[in-house]
């Protein structure tokens, strides 16, 4: 399998355009990564990359080899998956990503149960509220909330999740409870924003009598971690825009109170995103089916009875 490992390394270096990043992704040292590329080039008798002190670029031969190499790896992965499915012992690694709220509240609580049932499947779970790129980051699948980052991949919709604008009772006592989206702007309310490269959350889409409208809200603080925003809201620092499942406990306990009942945020689509080839991977299918069933049950249990507290 040494040649296959060399081909895998070549593909990751090609996709990431960085030897060290590819080495980290495949959990080897940079020296091992360089050695594997060197072995592959010696085996093929061509240079696959042009290296300088600052960059690594594929040669013409490298670009030609890449398409064939991806096909080879897909065939090997599918062959291994078919054998594991026949033996009913799915095994191997799954690299899964999710946003912080979805990962912590809806995915992570069920990981132990999944691994008890399928002990030979090893999971790498990466949680981040930043934008993801399945191909560049070597992900097998990702749980996404809202518009998926890449519609070229397969999408399995899990549910439509209600969102809510909310703040602490202390904030409302000091600043009042806005009733509609325009109150956020006219009364100068403090909105706590999720910001990262490519983020659009500094504009909140809210329902109005004239249909959905985008509001250019602002506030004293922003962060790329949604849980930090929730804590700031609990501390009375402003208003947050959150999926209900993410703040259900705080709403039910009265630590946060829903605001803007006349301009609620639209529901957000919760889905799992995965490359087309993963549709044939038994362990990916098992994980998706397992998680979708449990996430749906969790969302039903988090759904507030009747109206949200105002």
* Cβ–Cβ < 8 Å for 59, 48: yes
Q: How far apart are CA 264 and CA 242, in angstroms?
A: 11
- Edge-to-edge strand list for the sheet holding 240-243: 240-243, 163-167, 257-259
Quick: pLDDT tens for 239-269.
Answer: 999 999 999 999 999 999 999 999 999 999 9
Count CB neighbours of 136 within 10 A: 13
- Fold held by 2-86: Arc Repressor Mutant, subunit A (1.10.10)
- Give the CA angle between residues 67, 73, 74 to the nearest 5°: 90
The answer to whether the pTM exceeds 0.75 is no
Asked whether the predicted pLDDT for residue 199 surpasses 70, the reply is no
Class at the top of the CATH hierarchy for domain 163-266? alpha beta
Task: Parse the chain into domains and list their residue ranges.
Answer: 2-86, 92-159+269-302, 163-266
Beta-carbon contacts of residue 106 (< 8 Å; ≥ 6 apart): 98, 143, 245, 295, 298, 299
Domains 2-86 and 92-159+269-302 share a fold: no
Domain 92-159+269-302 has CATH 3.90.550.50: no
Quick: pLDDT tens for 99-131.
Answer: 888 999 999 999 999 999 999 999 999 998 877
């Amino acid at each position: 399998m040494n040649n296959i490992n060399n081909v895998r390394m070549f593909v990751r270096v090609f996709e990431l355009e960085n030897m060290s990043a590819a080495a980290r992704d495949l959990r080897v040292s940079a020296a091992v990564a360089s050695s594997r590329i060197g072995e592959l080039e010696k085996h093929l008798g061509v240079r696959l990359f042009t290296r300088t002190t600052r960059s690594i670029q594929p040669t013409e031969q490298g670009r030609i080899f890449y398409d064939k190499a991806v096909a080879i790896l897909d065939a090997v992965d599918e062959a291994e998956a078919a054998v594991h499915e026949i033996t009913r012992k799915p095994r191997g690694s799954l690299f899964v990503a999710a946003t912080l709220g979805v990962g912590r509240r809806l995915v992570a609580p069920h990981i132990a149960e999944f691994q008890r049932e399928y002990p030979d499947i090893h999971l790498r779970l990466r949680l981040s509220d930043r934008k993801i790129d399945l191909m560049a980051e070597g992900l097998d699948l990702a749980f996404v909330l809202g518009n998926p980052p890449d519609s070229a991949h397969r999408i399995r919709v899990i549910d439509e999740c209600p969102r809510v604008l909310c703040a602490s009772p202390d904030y409302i006592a000091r600043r009042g409870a806005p009733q509609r989206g325009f109150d956020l702007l006219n009364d100068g309310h403090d909105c706590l924003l999720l910001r990262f490269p490519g983020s659009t959350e500094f504009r909140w889409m809210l329902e109005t009598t004239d249909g959905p409208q985008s509001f250019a809200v602002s506030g004293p603080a922003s962060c790329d971690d949604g849980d930090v925003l929730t804590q700031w809201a609990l501390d009375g620092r402003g208003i947050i825009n959150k999926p209900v499942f993410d703040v259900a406990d705080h709403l039910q306990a009265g630590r946060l109170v829903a605001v803007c009942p006349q301009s609620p945020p639209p529901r957000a689509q919760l889905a799992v995103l995965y490359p087309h080839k993963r549709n044939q991977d038994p362990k990916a299918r098992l994980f998706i089916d397992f998680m979708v069933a449990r996430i749906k049950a969790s969302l039903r249990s988090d759904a507030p009875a009747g109206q949200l507290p105002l």
